[in-house]
Amino acid sequence: MIRLDKFLTNNTNLSRSESVKAIKAGRVKIEGLNKVLQDTKIDESSAVVFLDGQQVAYQKFVYLMLNKPLGVVSATNDTQHKTVLDLVPEQYSKHGLFPVGRLDKDTLGLVILTNNGQGAHKVLSPKNHVKKVYKYECADPLCEQDKQKIELGITLKDGYTTKPCKIKITTEKSGEITLTEGKYHEIKRLFGSVGNKITYLERICFGGITLDPKLNRGEFRPLNQQEIKIFE
Ligand code: URA
């Protein structure tokens, strides 16, 4: 059960205070109830609620696709840097969103924000082998031997051996790399361990969800029904 004002805040564009105002102004109706108050408790999955005569659709979770720009950190708050949450308006961030996995401050591209903790855990679990595809550029040509070493898995300085991955070479200093895990600075460390250096990194795909080319850096859009499926 949830208070009506909270239900409206979660499922419409209204802020908490606007929801309270809308209820007081008589703009909100609940099927089967004569009296509607801000603290009226409803069962959010079954109550039929109308705002200005339009039924309010119950959304269990929020999912957004963000095109992360440079210099923004994948955290919910940071005292020094702009975070991915600073890029979405309050009508979304009020839902308790967090980024699904992390991109480095200097990595660009696809970040998914959600408030579905269980769903995020599922897609991040190495057991589920969810593929993440990154476009990369590196400082030196990547020779076939180094490509193969990276693909097979490398024991990094901290003793961790990376899972096999796939590299598709575009030019000698660029291509796409597909990982099924997400260790700290993994791609940079993989290239570093063969004496190379990543100079550009952009995530373009996460579990079959592709970064929407219509999104400029810093822009976002809700995931569609098809895209949400990986979290269910
Ligand atoms: N690997 C990295 O090194 N950095 C990222 O941001 C993502 C994967």
Condensed to tens digits (0 to 9), the pLDDT of residues 156-213 reads 999 999 999 999 999 999 999 999 998 999 999 999 999 999 999 999 999 999 999 9
pTM, two decimals, is 0.84
Rama region for 34: left / alpha / beta (φ>0; ψ in -120 to 50; rest) = alpha
Residue located nearest, by CA, to atom 2 of ligand 1:
185
pLDDT number for residue 12 = 84
CA of 144 to the centre of ligand 1 (A): 22
- Locus of tokens 């855990």: 121
The residues lining ligand 1, judged by C-beta closer than 6 Å to any ligand atom, are: 103-104, 107, 185-188, 201
Retrieve residue 209's tokens.
């969800």
Give how far Cα 209 sits from Cα of 65, 111, 112, 226, 227, Å: 9, 10, 9, 9, 6
Residues in the chain where the model's pLDDT stays below 70: none
Catalytic residues: 104
Distance CA 102, CA 95 (A): 19
* Spacing, Cα 182 to ligand 1 middle (Å): 8
If you measure from the C-alpha of residue 190 to the centroid of ligand 1, how many angstroms do you get, rounded to a whole number? 10
pLDDT at 59: 82
Angle at 160 between CA 156 and CA 161, to 5 degrees: 80
pLDDT recorded at residue 75: 92
Return all residues near 126 (Cβ < 8 A) that are at least 6 apart: 163, 180, 181
